[in-house]
């Protein structure tokens, strides 16, 4: 693509003995295959890696951290709900955020003291029904 060609050209710039810039290129899975189709760019990349999804424990810690950062001092999700959230989102942070956010809205509307696995199932089912995921 044009953007990757521009990026490749930027890697030509030098300052003294080394490159003028250090780049950190971040993207979705398709970016690796796009780069692989451009060997002159691919050979210039020192490191390529994939970020794996969260484990169930990491998902729980992530949600607890995010809710604490938002200002709560209590667990908004039951342990079972956190397990369900991990299962439904596959450990992908974007999906975790989306499901947790919508479950919190549903829980707030229903005046639920905590989000349980049933609320997550309902939110997930609604997303799947609407084709949003």
| DSSP secondary structure, 70-131, as one string | TT--S-SB-HHHHHHHHHHHTT-HHHHHHHHHHHHHHHHHTT-SSB-HHHHHHHHHHHHHHT
Comparing CA positions, the residue from 69, 23, 73 lying closest to residue 3 is 23
Q: What is the mean pLDDT of residues 38-66?
A: 91
- Report the pLDDT value the prediction gives residue 28, as an integer from 0 to 100: 77
For the cut 80, the answer to whether the pLDDT of residue 131 exceeds it is: no
Residue with more model confidence, 39 or 128 = 39
Quick check: 114 and 75 in contact, CB under 8 A?
A: yes
Per-residue pLDDT reduced to its tens digit, 74-111: 999 999 999 999 999 999 999 999 999 999 999 999 99
Q: Supply the mean pLDDT for the chain.
A: 89
């Amino acid at each position: 693509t044009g953007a990757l060609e521009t990026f490749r050209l930027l890697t030509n710039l030098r300052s003294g003995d080394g490159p003028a810039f250090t780049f950190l290129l971040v993207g979705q899975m398709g970016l690796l295959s796009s780069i692989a189709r451009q060997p002159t760019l691919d050979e210039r990349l020192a490191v390529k890696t994939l970020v794996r999804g969260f484990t169930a424990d990491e998902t729980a810690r992530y949600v607890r951290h995010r809710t604490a950062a938002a200002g709560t001092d209590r667990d908004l999700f039951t342990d079972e709900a956190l397990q369900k959230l991990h299962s439904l989102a596959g450990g992908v942070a974007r999906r975790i955020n989306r499901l947790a956010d919508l479950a919190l809205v549903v829980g707030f509307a229903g005046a639920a003291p905590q989000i349980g696995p049933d609320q997550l199932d309902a939110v997930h089912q609604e997303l799947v029904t609407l084709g949003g995921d």
